[in-house]
A = this chain, B = another copy of it.
């Protein structure tokens, strides 16, 4: 497996485009991904009972497992707004018409402010979609343009692509994602779009996406808020002509592992770009009784406002970590737990058997200085492990979210 360039256009048969249609003042706000042939598709949706209109429409269009295009806007979430479903469906119509494909072959996704009707701007959106259809290209630049058009408060574009071999054939998987605030483990907790030329059956594509998302996007937290619009989509158009994956064979395992690596990469990019973040925090729990317990503990730690504030201050306040593990809902014995901090600077054990150990505070402060820091929790209570990702809580997060609409 090699990392390659090209994002969502890396795999055969996919083209993309991004533009500014007018939902935002100046920045790009509309993206399109298109497969020259119908693709198998699978998706995961937010667990929030308040679901944005585009998700309802997309779910219907995906019910037969096939898809040829996805249109995405930023600047308006089209959630809790009048005429939400009509406008989401209209976006599919415009896209289908511009591409000459059936409306049911188009997925739609939105991100931005909740509760503002898109109706006054649907004319602009329609013109934007026509523009995009004309600009479609299978280049690195086109993928970059699409990845930028789905950003909201994101500071960095989030793209990835890899090449692998399945059944002797070269296969590619690419992806783009967005997410910076309102990010919390549960479903996708962001927008993610993956494209591959692999040949794989619809049920197994669905299963692979679920498995990959569970261990990656569902394990990041920026602020504990689960959005109304979270959505992750994968399209597989089969143009690589590998022997189609129809059982959970060795090829499926390779595909799943690769997909998980890609999603991990995008998930880390989202956590690292958490609103106001000055640290990417990776929390790894080892030797847990089972994976659910390991995940509950790791999630609770990276979600704790007190832990996040401490990392911002480079404060090795392990008591808050053990405390967060304690209220995670997981049942465990705190008296066998060891906690250490690590980064490129080094590693330091701060708690053994549930109690503090003497450690060099200056050294710990230095270890917590780099952008990427790790919290290691060894439970000594089994063989399961889990990793979650988050970011620190900073003045800037409060500033961004106190002033978002104003």
Binding site for B on A (CB under 8 A): 47-51, 77, 79-82, 113-117, 181-182, 184, 186, 223-228, 303-306, 309-310, 312-313, 315, 317-320, 322-327, 330-332, 334, 351, 354-356, 393-395, 397-406
Not counting A50-B325, A50-B354, A79-B319, a sample of 6 additional A-B residue pairs whose C-beta atoms are within 8 angstroms of each other reads A50-B326, A113-B319, A223-B306, A313-B401, A317-B405, A395-B398
Asked if B304 and A80 sit within 8 Å, CB to CB, the answer is no
* Interchain CA distance A325-B225 in the complex, whole Å: 10
* Interchain CA distance A78-B347 in the complex, whole Å: 26
Given A80-B354, A224-B304, the answer on whether A327 and B186 have CB atoms closer than 8 Å is yes
Asked if B80 and A322 sit within 8 Å, CB to CB, the answer is yes
Can you list 12 contacts pairing A with B, beta carbon distance less than 8 Å? A49-B330, A49-B334, A115-B322, A117-B356, A186-B327, A225-B305, A225-B323, A309-B397, A310-B404, A315-B402, A395-B395, A395-B399
Which residues of chain B are near A49, meaning CB under 8 Å?
Answer: 326-327, 330-332, 334
Given A320-B114, A402-B310, the answer on whether A305 and B223 have CB atoms closer than 8 Å is yes
Which residues of chain B are near A334, meaning CB under 8 Å?
Answer: 49-50, 80
* Interchain CA distance A323-B356 in the complex, whole Å: 39
Asked if A115 and B402 sit within 8 Å, CB to CB, the answer is no
Partner of A225, one of B50, B320, B401: B320
Given A355-B80, A401-B305, the answer on whether A47 and B327 have CB atoms closer than 8 Å is yes
Partner of A81, one of B47, B355, B404: B355
* Interchain CA distance A305-B318 in the complex, whole Å: 22
Interface secondary structure of A, over-half rule: loop
For residue A276, which residue of chain B has the nearest CB? Answer: B398
For residue A51, which residue of chain B has the nearest CB? Answer: B326
For residue A309, which residue of chain B has the nearest CB? Answer: B401
Which residues of chain B are near A397, meaning CB under 8 Å?
Answer: 305, 309, 398
* Interchain CA distance A85-B19 in the complex, whole Å: 65
Partner of A319, one of B114, B303, B326: B114
Given A401-B310, A405-B317, the answer on whether A323 and B394 have CB atoms closer than 8 Å is no
For residue A316, which residue of chain B has the nearest CB? Answer: B405
* Interchain CA distance A85-B402 in the complex, whole Å: 44
For residue A334, which residue of chain B has the nearest CB? Answer: B50
